[in-house]
Amino acid sequence: MTHPRPHPWYRLLAYAAPALPLAVLLLPTYIFLPAHYASIGLPLGTISLVLLLARLWDGVTDPLVGLLSDRTHSRFGRRKPWIAAGLPLTCLSLWFLLVPPAGAGPAHLLGWSMALYLGWTLMVVPLTAWGAELSGDYHQRTRINGFREAAGVLGTLVALVLPFAAGVGAAGQEGEALRLLALLLLVMLPIATLAALAFVPDRAMQTPPKAKPGSWRLILANGPFRRLLLAYVINGMANGLPAQLFLFFVQHRLGDGDRAGLLLLCYFASGLLAVPLWLGLSKYFGKDRVWRWAMLWNIGWFLPVFWLGPGDSGLFLLVCVMTGLSLGADLILPSAMQADVVDLDTAQGGGERTGLFFAFWGLATKLATALAALGLGAAALFGFDPGLAQNDANALAGLTLLYAGLPIALKLVAIALLWRWPLDRAAQSALRERIETGPPG
């Protein structure tokens, strides 16, 4: 088996560049958007339902974009034309979604959410598939994902620091923060995307994807793919629930909404600084084992949340820093493992269907987000009302259970699914050798 030379760091920086503004966009839709639409009069249950419906739209668009990008032949490659097509739609829809007019209702939230998710799909599905195709080496893939996801975490930090520095990062100022970030994105996203399109190669297809119906059975029969995808969705829900409820938890349980921006900043800064640690550990111990360790670490530091209350912001800051360390592992290791799973499909005769597999991956990400958004409605079932100055003990207990208890249980399930993972370095190297010598017809 041949071992390609690693890509130079400046090329990987160009490839990772779009991930930075896309992450700047992701944080507002995760954290600020529900609180802002709640502040302009939409009930939490309505927001939760609308966001879930918008995510269901991705069930159509994600596989379609992945399939079509796999089959694209152009002088610019397979992935670049789709990323370029998604750029204007993303820029247009992010403005109308993040800066809603007065009186915006559920229809506005639903329509522009669907438009933004389509633009997001057109950019992110080809981008992640492109990264998996830049190298077939087990460890180089982790390095490529490390660059992209580190750029994403850096983008998240920008999304946190900028409103905080501008004095609009506190709870209750979500509208001002969203407008500021929208303006930033309209400048950053086109520049970063053009850099990737100009300076990173998009190789031609080597083995055409199979079109026969039986080829879909290869995907469904891919046991590691099913396990990894399910573990990823479950862990994504475990991460998404605290993200959706973070501002409410800090403001109502800890009584310190003014420090929300600082707490989030420390969380994501910790995640960014830990990326080299997880890259180094995975090189020696394997991606799956290190990811399981990271999830266990997260669980251990989430347990003290149950005993926190008003005046405990200092202790919660420690929790944010320590749980933030596992963020880098959650970002870089699963997608690197997904690239290895695609090799199994290619080796078994599926052809080069990286885009289709990463479309399912993107769909899984959005499904996890949508299911996590149901936590907003579940909090209301416990009697929690963000409009009240003081919620009762039962409402706050329910909020804490959703913020910390359910994520812990979900992460334990994800760890169990990854037990005895079959695609280690030796297995993946054997798959690459089969691919290079020719898959079965």
Smallest Cα–Cα separation from 232: which of 368, 384, 339?
A: 368
Tell me the three-class secondary structure of 234-250, residue by residue: HHHHHHHHHHHHHHHHH
Smallest Cα–Cα separation from 437: which of 201, 206, 203?
A: 206
Could you give the angle at which helices 223-248 and 354-381 cross, rounded to 10 degrees? 40
Domain limits for position 337: 12-201+215-437
CATH number at residue 345: 1.20.1250.20
Cα R_g (the chain), whole angstroms: 21
Whether 2 has a pLDDT exceeding 50, the answer reads no
Total domain count for the chain? 1
Q: Please give the average per-residue pLDDT across 6-27, as a whole number.
A: 88
Query: What pLDDT, on the 0 to 100 scale, is given for residue 346?
Result: 73
Task: Note whether residue 288 is domain-resident.
Answer: yes
Burial 405-427 (b: 16+ CB within 10 A, else e): bbbbebbeebbebbeebebeeee
Could you give the angle at which helices 260-273 and 327-345 cross, rounded to 10 degrees? 50
Q: Please give the average per-residue pLDDT across 426-439, as a whole number.
A: 72
| pTM, rounded to two decimals | 0.74
Extract the tokens encoding 208. 């055409």
Other Cβ atoms less than 10 A from the Cβ of 220: the count is 9
Angle at 114 between CA 113 and CA 120, to 5 degrees: 85
Tens digits of residue pLDDT in 391-411: 888 989 999 999 999 999 999
Task: Note whether residue 345 is domain-resident.
Answer: yes
Which is more confident, 83 or 171? 83
Q: What is the DSSP letter of 168?
A: -
Give the span between the Cα atoms of 93 and 88, in whole angstroms: 9
Could you give the angle at which helices 327-345 and 287-302 cross, rounded to 10 degrees? 150
Whether 325 has a pLDDT exceeding 90, the answer reads yes
Contact 72, 133 (CB under 8 A): no
Please state which of the ranges 109-113, 164-168, 322-326 shows the lowest mean pLDDT. Answer: 164-168
Smallest Cα–Cα separation from 146: which of 273, 271, 332?
A: 332
Task: Note whether residue 2 is domain-resident.
Answer: no
Task: Note whether residue 6 is domain-resident.
Answer: no
Tens digits of residue pLDDT in 240-256: 899 888 888 998 899 88
Whether 439 has a pLDDT exceeding 70, the answer reads no
Tens digits of residue pLDDT in 128-137: 888 878 877 7
Task: Note whether residue 402 is domain-resident.
Answer: yes
Task: Note whether residue 405 is domain-resident.
Answer: yes
Whether 366 has a pLDDT exceeding 90, the answer reads no
Q: Say which residues have a Cβ less than 8 Å from residue 71's Cβ, sequence separation at least 6.
A: 208, 209
Alpha helices in 287-386 (DSSP H): 287-302, 313-324, 327-345, 354-381
Give the span between the Cα atoms of 328 and 375, in whole angstroms: 24
Contact 19, 145 (CB under 8 A): no
Task: Note whether residue 292 is domain-resident.
Answer: yes
Other Cβ atoms less than 10 A from the Cβ of 166: the count is 12
Task: Note whether residue 207 is domain-resident.
Answer: no
Helices (runs of H) and strands (runs of E) counted in the chain: 19, 0
